[in-house]
Amino acid sequence: MSTGLFRKLAAAALLVGVAVTLSACGGFIGKGNAKANRPLTSAAVTKLASMGSSPGAPMMVRIFKESSELEVWKQTSAGDFRLFKTYEICAYSGDLGPKIKEGDRQSPEGFYTITPGLMNPNSSYYLAFNTGFPNKFDRAYGRTGSDLMVHGDCSSRGCYAMTDEGIAEIYALARETFKGGNPSFQLQIFPFRMTPQNLAKQSKSPNMAFWKNIKEGYDQFEIAKIPPRWDVCDRRYVFNATGPAGTPLDAVAACPALSQDATMVAALKAKQAADDATFETEVAYVSKKESAAVAAAERDAATQAAAKARGEAIGGFFNGIGSNIGNLFGNAPQEAAPVETAAAAPIPAAKS
């Protein structure tokens, strides 16, 4: 299958369910809510047009924790997706790695599907949309958590917090995408840009297997510039893969024989082979740097210890000299003064 045909099929997949009415949106527009109904600026509309896109075209959002970036991508008339804008994330909660349980103050990572019902025009944090955590993958691991949002107000407790201005435009872009007949948009959340260099820096992380799994979806988007369809089997993500008869996969059961596009499979294998080679080189380089740093730290510690020992020895030596000099001049024992006895004085001889 050619890349062009693959893109057309993927684009068509995004529009599945257009016939479903938006009455189930849960009032995502927010009747009478000026914030939720704020129109896109003329600058945004002009930029979309210059990209070959439009407000109603499909969209996708990517988040990168480490660099605190949120990207909005829009589909063009050619069928591929192009970057519309990158927004700064004010704050996210926790560290690199997925959310595991309610109360761990972690922000989620993975692939999520945002529907109109997840939009919140009445958020206490200006405007918001729910990430949809826990998704099918998260539930397969028994992960828990609720109300994990992308919102405004620059304050996070397990969410991704944007500026009010930023979330206003993102919300408006999502609103117009839904108005254009799209039933959802994809949210991809990564710890960092999934390059072999960045992975090598985290090679000892317990999250490495998970990160390499979601990297498969990252790579497929980088190759085709089409959001990959995702599902879960054997408690792992699979991308652009179809099970027998096209039925949804069992998240915890072993993966059945999956149908995948041969062109994409070949491109993905080539990219992964190149990335794996770079990863191994980078891990060796990082390990060498760490070993050199440890050796340098040990040398510094030995030098400092030797200097301290010399200082103590010299100090002890001079303290000893000081004591000897003190004994010589001030503390030496004195001879006892002769004691005169009370002997009788001699009697003068008598004169003749």
Hey, what amino acid is at 196? P
- Entry field: residues in the chain: 352
For the question of residue 90 being annotated catalytic, the response is no
pLDDT in tens, 21-45: 333 333 455 565 899 999 999 999 9
Q: What does the pLDDT read at residue 80?
A: 98
In the chain, what are the domains? 9-281 (2.40.440.10)
Cβ proximity of 62 and 87 under 8 Å: no
Q: What does the pLDDT read at residue 25?
A: 30
pLDDT in tens, 182-223: 999 999 999 999 999 999 999 999 999 999 999 999 999 999
Instruction: Choose, from 154, 159, 233, 255, the residue flagged as catalytic.
Output: 159
Please tell me the distance from the alpha carbon of residue 72 to that of residue 88, in angstroms, as a whole number.
12
Look at 24-33, 146-155, 219-228 and tell me which has the smallest mean pLDDT: 24-33
Cβ proximity of 145 and 101 under 8 Å: yes
Classify strands 185-190 and 160-161 as parallel, antiparallel or unpaired. unpaired
For the question of residue 25 being annotated catalytic, the response is no
**Which residues does 188 contact at the CB level (< 8 Å), separation at least 6?**
60, 61, 62, 63, 111, 112, 214, 217, 218, 221, 227
Instruction: Choose, from 25, 90, 151, 154, the residue flagged as catalytic.
Output: 151
Please tell me the distance from the alpha carbon of residue 345 to that of residue 251, in angstroms, as a whole number.
126
Q: Residue written as tokens 């997925």?
A: 98
Q: What does the pLDDT read at residue 329?
A: 54
Does the pLDDT of residue 342 top 70, yes or no? no
Does the pLDDT of residue 98 top 80, yes or no? yes
Please tell me the distance from the alpha carbon of residue 271 to that of residue 277, in angstroms, as a whole number.
10
Q: Residue written as tokens 């999520």?
A: 112
Residue bearing the bigger pLDDT, 147 or 23: 147
